[in-house]
Amino acid sequence: MKRYLLFAVLTAHSTLVTLCGQSAGPDPDRDSYRNPILHADYSDPDVLRVGDDFYLTASSFNAAPGLPILHSRDLVHWQLINHALPRQVPLDTFAQPQHGNGVWAPAIRFHDGYFYIYWGDPDFGIYMVRTQDPAGAWEDPVLVRAAKGWIDPCPLWDDDGKAYLVHAFAGSRAGIKSVVVVHEMSPDGRELLDDGVLVFDGHAAHGTIEGTKFHKRNGYYYILAPAGGVATGWQTVLRSRNVYGPYSEQVVLHQGDTDVNGPHQGAWVELANGDDWFVHFQEKQPYGRIVHLQPAHWEDDWLRIGVDHNQDGIGEPVSSHAVPRTTHRSTPAAQVADDEFDAPRLGLQWQWQANPDATWAFPTALGYLRLNPVVTAGMRNLWDAPHLLLAKLPAESFTATTKVTFYPHFDGEHTGLIMMGRDYAYLAVERVEGQLRLKSVQCLNAENGAPERTLATTPLEQPEVYLRLTVLPGGMTRFAYSIDNKQFTPLGPPFQAREGKWIGAKMGLFASRDRRENDGGYANYDWFRITP
């Protein structure tokens, strides 16, 4: 039984997809783990513990479905169980790719029997969704405040029944940044009651402070916030006895003498036994923002993260550590990102480049996924195409293979396996002058409208073919094909995978044609499999 997701509506309890990168997970004795715990692009992670269960969500930007929900019992091994946002809102806006827009830096919290997720859309404002079952259906999004450039929100329900929300600003939309604002919020979490109070100005020492997370402990209000930029920044902690400040600040985690650049933006998690941990990302292009786990502790009511190896008073990331002392130990599992396409749902790993149209693809009861070629006339290249079915890169190095049978009706219809980013490349089957051929295509500087280049072609004598891409450390990608799934022949030059806008590169499937016809061809994908 494979892992699947309905195209338009998420089912209440999907079978799990285990996520654990090749370089991540436990050592053989299971008493230690190695970072990263997720070698996959779960940007801006936030983590919540409820009882013995941990839940993680992350930025999903323009992808649909959005707001991934991951579950763990031990903070090391994670399973993708749901998405909280089946389609991006506003629906019409996100019917076309909106690269880098959409869901930025969410915060997940539990209050009064409900799981809440807040996020900032830099163009539309602050949204909220909630549910009583994170693996089930989430309520429709609520626009808590319409605004431009309000990002990275996080709620706090105080001891006296009042509610607050903290957030930062995106200078590209708001015209200001590097400051933190706190609002009073309605206790039901659905609206802000004021225009906010400036509680911290980071211009002098904490430029681009953002990613705010709100906590209260021992009578102190804490705002955890990264600063200094994604690639090279650090983790800041702000502390005050008053929700509106003034706040003192300390840098509690930075790269130091390690090779983990920009270790910041994440979640403080307290275990049931009182131990403390911190989950954060590291930008590792072209893989995106991968996830690390750091030990933490409190000292004089300040959160300390990592280990201060160089004795500079600031914690540094660890490469390995003793596993958290959680109530449960999860069974180690290898990365799973396969889809056999043998049930009426897609695997949870799949996301579209925009809100999907039901005609693009159909699961079948016959053991394959049918993709229908989508018209690309008027698009500069596939950067503009909404119908790309994509998944995150699951490890530093791996091979992805898929089996497709293509039945085109017209010349120009083509389908294939793609590595997508600001530059992209693919291996596709195409009909030309009534005959099938394979073509190797690259598009450099795709985001700025550059044209595709066909770099190699070869005739194809049958409609059934196996397509493969192999990713080497660093993202160098090689494409190959096979008639029998035994002997693979390279086609085209190697391609250096490149990140997307605020995300890592993605791999996946597509089917396209250059003009609209009454009816058309189709591609049947039998399976999609990952091997180390």
- Residue 65: cis peptide before it, omega within 30 degrees of 0: yes
Q: Exposed (0-12), middle (13-18) or buried (19+): which is 397, by Cβ within 10 Å?
A: middle
Which residues are CB-contacts of 156 (< 8 A; sequence separation ≥ 6)?
A: 163, 164, 165, 166, 214, 215, 216, 221, 243
What are the backbone angles phi and psi of residue 95, rounded to the nearest 5°?
-75, -15
Which residue's entry shows tokens 């010349």? 411
Q: Is the Cα torsion angle 67, 70, 71, 76 positive or negative in sign?
A: negative
CA distance 115 to 133: 7
- Catalytic, 44? Answer yes
> What is the enclosing helix (H) or strand (E) of 19?
strand 17-19
Look up 283 and say whether it is catalytic: no
List % helix, strand, coil for the chain (3-state, nearest 5).
Answer: 0, 45, 50
DSSP secondary structure, 336-381, as one string: ---B---SSSB-TT-EESSSPPTTSEEE-TTS-EEEPPEE-TT-SS
Residue 110 in tokens: 């539990």
Round to whole Å and give the CA distance between 40 and 72: 16
Which one of the listed residues 41, 121, 152, 210 is annotated catalytic? 210
Residue type at position 202? G
Long-range contacts of 516-521 (CB under 8 A, 24+ apart): 516/375, 516/377, 517/409, 517/410, 519/409, 520/372, 520/373, 520/408, 520/409, 520/410, 520/413, 521/372, 521/373, 521/406, 521/407, 521/408, 521/409, 521/410, 521/413, 521/431
Pairing status of strand 506-513 against strand 374-375: parallel
| DSSP code of residue 330 | P
Joined together, the tokens standing for residue 421 give 């980013």
Which is nearest to 352 in space by CA: 420, 294, 410? 420
**Positive or negative torsion for Cα 441, 506, 339, 357:** negative
Q: 265: which 2 tokens?
A: 């933006």
Asked if omega into 394 is within 30° of 0 (cis), the reply is: no
Distance, CA of 475 to CA of 332 (rounded, Å): 26
Nearest residue to 225 via CA among 124, 123, 116, 303: 303
What is the three-class DSSP state of 487?
coil
Residue of 41, 44, 316, 499 marked catalytic = 44
Strands of 52-124, DSSP E: 53-57, 66-72, 78-85, 104-111, 114-121
Token pair in block for residue 87:
């389609």
- The set of catalytic residues is 44, 210
